[in-house]
Amino acid sequence: MKQLSPSQLLTTLTDHIKDSAAIVMHQSADPDAVGSAAALANLLTLRSKINVQIFAESLNRSAKNVANAFNLPLATPQNLALHSTIILIDLNNVEQMGTLAPYLPKKDVTTFCIDHHVPHKDLPKLVDFSLYDDEICSTAELVLQIWEASDHSPSPDVATLLACGLVYDSRHFHIATNKTFEHFLSLLHYGADFKRVLNLLSTPLDKSERVARLKAAKRTVVYDEFGLLIAATTIRSYEASASRALIGLGADIAIACAMKKDEVRVSSRCNSAVNRDYGLDLAKDVMEPLGELIGGAGGGHPSAAGANGKASSDHALGLALQLLRKTLKDHHDTSHTTPNSGAVG
């Protein structure tokens, strides 16, 4: 795998592309993938009359907004096998391609990768040429650099597409660096429409989900223990959304249980400060053992985890709280924080 600069990538791409190229995004592609893919396709077709097709197993909700607003069609997976130039964008391994992976051509193909994620160990086997920067916030910024290495300027639409990627992946600038702002300023100079970007990236919740969140909040019991506000609730559906909402309302840890037919689904969230300060891993400490206790399975991430199984929602919630308290107590016993206990509402 040869690492290239933006201008080298553009020259190498132009040299390799015969009459077509495929741009491939990750499954549940996000606005960074979609904006980057569309902006790159636009540049490649400007430079030469080639057929560029864009592929993804699926798009997330805000990526769908972006794709619809700019009339960006996705090609059918079978067509992937027809291309001899493949450009992986915002993606660096085969697993992330999902159901597209089997259609990846194996022979007589040149593969490029434009990405900003931590490089996957198998990347050198998969890719011939790459434009890589894992310190940059978004792939869109790499595509901006490719545009700037060409003799064309991005149109206002292309700048808006790239801004969608930059704004989405920088979490609306929450994790932006000085470079992110510099790149964003360039996009504004090219005519990016920030209001349109914000509109495209906002995905309002369905009414049913909002009703579920409000009902969950109404039924919530809040415990003030170990210096933490723990919110627990039962709900009919949208348990993950409900536990996220409870964190938004101010809980440090939230657990929401929902009954689906005869299965209970438990979802939990916590602030990352709780992971750091209390050594809590919701997946390992709470949801994995809970899954076993209720004859199902559990897992997830340290700050977002869930479990399914056979139990009443009250029983599952009780068990989840027991496991949580045990972990917090173990941590407390090995440190010197003063606990405050009791239900507050």
Sites of contact with Mn ion (CB under 5 A): 32, 90, 139, 169
Distance (Å, rounded) from C-alpha 254 to C-alpha 236?
A: 16
- The 3-class SS string of 202-233 reads CCCCCHHHHHHHHHHHHCCEEEEECCEEEEEE
Distance (Å, rounded) from C-alpha 147 to C-alpha 259?
A: 51
* Cβ 90 to Mn ion shortest distance, Å: 4
Nearer to Mn ion by Cβ, of 42 and 60: the residue is 60
Distance (Å, rounded) from C-alpha 187 to C-alpha 178?
A: 14
Nearer to Mn ion by Cβ, of 90 and 285: the residue is 90
> Does residue 109 sit in helix, strand or coil?
coil
Tokens describing residue 239: 């348990």
* Cβ 27 to Mn ion shortest distance, Å: 13
Q: Could you tell me the sign of the dihedral formed by the alpha carbons of 98, 81, 25, 4, in that order? A: positive
* Cβ 217 to Mn ion shortest distance, Å: 33
Nearer to Mn ion by Cβ, of 140 and 246: the residue is 140
CA 22 to chain centre: 23
Nearer to Mn ion by Cβ, of 90 and 288: the residue is 90
Distance (Å, rounded) from C-alpha 196 to C-alpha 75?
A: 26
Residue (of 240, 332, 235, 226) closest to 287 by Cα position: 240
* Cβ 91 to Mn ion shortest distance, Å: 9
Based on the number of CB atoms within 10 Å of its own CB, is 105 exposed (0-12), middle (13-18) or buried (19 or more)?
middle
Contact 308, 265 (CB under 8 A): yes
* Cβ 153 to Mn ion shortest distance, Å: 23
Nearer to Mn ion by Cβ, of 42 and 92: the residue is 92
* Cβ 139 to Mn ion shortest distance, Å: 5
Nearer to Mn ion by Cβ, of 175 and 185: the residue is 175
Q: Could you tell me the sign of the dihedral formed by the alpha carbons of 165, 167, 168, 169, in that order? A: positive
Query: Per 3-state DSSP, what percentage of the chain is helix, strand, and coil (rounded to 5)?
Result: 50, 20, 30
Nearer to Mn ion by Cβ, of 141 and 157: the residue is 141
Nearer to Mn ion by Cβ, of 90 and 157: the residue is 90
* Cβ 189 to Mn ion shortest distance, Å: 22
* Cβ 116 to Mn ion shortest distance, Å: 6
